[in-house]
Amino acid sequence: MTNAFEKFYKKSISGRRAVIKKSANLSPSELKLFENALGSQNADQIIENVVGTYELPLGIATNFVVNGRQVVVPMAVEEPSVVAAASNAAKLCKATGGFKTKASKPEMIGQIQLVKVKNPASALKKIIKEKKNLVKIANSRDPLLVKYGGGARDIEAKTIFAGRKKMVIIYLTVDVRDAMGANAVNTMCEAIAPELERMSGGIARLRIISNLAVKRTAKAKAVWKKKDLEKSAKGTGMTGQEIVDAIIESYELAENDIYRCATHNKGIMNGVDAIAVACGQDWRAIEAGAHAFAAKTGQYKSLTKYSKDKQGNLVGEIEIPVAVGIVGGAIKAQPLAQLCVKLTGVKTAQELGEIIAAVGLAQNFAALRALSTEGIQRGHMRLHARMQGEKK
Ligand code: MEV
């Protein structure tokens, strides 16, 4: 089978669009969105005090194989070399089958803060006893979500000490299906708050989604063969084994040094944010979730892990919260974002999350490979320059 994306970077913009048009079967009006994505009139419906729109470059990362399927990865980002590096990382693990991914259920957590509770212990007991009823009240607020197989699932509660005060915090788990979920979760939190006040005798203050989506994560894994790594860094004189070891050492540094870990995880988010922005996601929510997840043990850690397999090849893994949606929210008002989701070929938010995880891993691998071999300035900048120079 010929690969339509072969030497994609060498094509002109219209040549690349022709490839995308054919591969995703785009209509002429869809194609036009690459030139005129939103327009001020639409923008005026989305936020307040609009004076115009703001553009970013939109590129396509190629070579991604995710769970055996070739995936087109749209990336909106202003930083040179991000798209090239992701494409190169994906190419280098094609020989081992690309990325294997797995998403958890699309479950988000909402929080209700109860203050001035006289007897927190007895309030906790009552709330847990009434769990089923509370879940029912929450679900009564979103029959459509329930119809599509989602809805409130569970309630947990705990006491938090804030200085000398005690607060009761309720955690509502909601399966939000293909939505990002903020609207559904916030509505449900507000719906059960009066009941919680009645049961506890306290006052419900904050009623809001948590961006630490620990129950909604995606994992991705890939293997990079040491011989392919050696070939890719020919000029450095390093052997494949040396490169594998150097990448593992760079990961170990991130695991044990917060200064490096911030930069390491930033490199992951270069990829994650770029596809998230292209696909119309709330990337601040994804950023907040990723960094809180990285610190969930109380120490800020790497979102990726690297090890060696029996043959000495490099195994990379990632787990990242993916609060993303393909229906509702901001995406509904952004035709180009909808088109980008279409390009990825995903049918569910879980699949989009899996691709995002794969892109995050690819981006991190690319940075570590460059840093561990020829250095980022030479490595990535040369990749960028080569792509610019080789264009027709
Ligand atoms: C630059 O945007 C990202 C890197 O600094 C990431 C890293 O150091 O791992 C290259």
Tens digit of each residue's pLDDT (9 = 90 or more) over 189-203 = 999 999 999 999 999
Phi, psi of 181 (to 5 degrees): 110, -10
pLDDT at 386: 65
Q: With contact defined as beta carbons under 8 Å apart, do 363 and 75 qualify?
A: no
Question: Is 79 part of the annotated catalytic residue set?
Answer: yes
pLDDT at 132: 97
Q: With contact defined as beta carbons under 8 Å apart, do 341 and 327 qualify?
A: no
Tokens of 205: 């203050």
Statement: 107-209 belongs to CATH 3.30.70.420: yes
Question: Of 175, 282, 319, 351, which residue is the catalytic one?
Answer: 282
From residue 263, give the alpha-carbon distance in Å to each of 257, 277, 367.
10, 20, 10
How far does residue 258's CA lie from ligand 1's centre (Å)? 14
From residue 296, give the alpha-carbon distance in Å to each of 97, 149, 318.
31, 30, 15
Q: With contact defined as beta carbons under 8 Å apart, do 45 and 38 qualify?
A: no
3-state DSSP assignment of residue 322: coil
Instruction: Report residues of the chain scoring pLDDT below 50.
Output: 1
How far does residue 316's CA lie from ligand 1's centre (Å)? 17
How far does residue 176's CA lie from ligand 1's centre (Å)? 33
Question: Of 102, 126, 266, 308, which residue is the catalytic one?
Answer: 266
The amino acid at 98 = G
**How many Å apart are CA 220 and CA 73, to the nearest integer?**
15
Beta-strand runs (E) in 188-276:
203-209, 217-224
Domain ranges of the chain: 2-104+216-387, 107-209
How far does residue 265's CA lie from ligand 1's centre (Å)? 8
**How many Å apart are CA 374 and CA 65, to the nearest integer?**
26
- Give the full edge-to-edge strand order of the sheet including 151-162: 151-162, 165-175, 107-115, 203-209
Ligand 1 proximal residues by C-beta, below 6 Å: 79, 263-264, 266-267, 270, 367, 371, 376
Using CA atoms of 262, 215, 46, 42 in order, give the dihedral in degrees to the nearest 10: 100
Query: Of 10, 75, 15, which is closest to residue 344 (Cα–Cα)?
Result: 75
pLDDT at 188: 98
Question: Of 79, 156, 197, 287, which residue is the catalytic one?
Answer: 79
The amino acid at 262 = A
Residues paired with residue 166 on neighbouring β-strands, in sequence order: 161
The amino acid at 44 = D
3-state DSSP assignment of residue 326: coil
**How many Å apart are CA 188 and CA 355, to the nearest integer?**
29
**How many Å apart are CA 367 and CA 288, to the nearest integer?**
22
Q: Hey, what CATH class is 2-104+216-387 in?
A: alpha beta
Q: Whose CA is nearest to atom 1 of ligand 1?
A: 267
**How many Å apart are CA 99 and CA 202, to the nearest integer?**
49
pLDDT at 1: 44
pLDDT at 133: 97
Whether 2-104+216-387 shares its CATH topology with 107-209 is answered no
Phi, psi of 164 (to 5 degrees): -90, -5
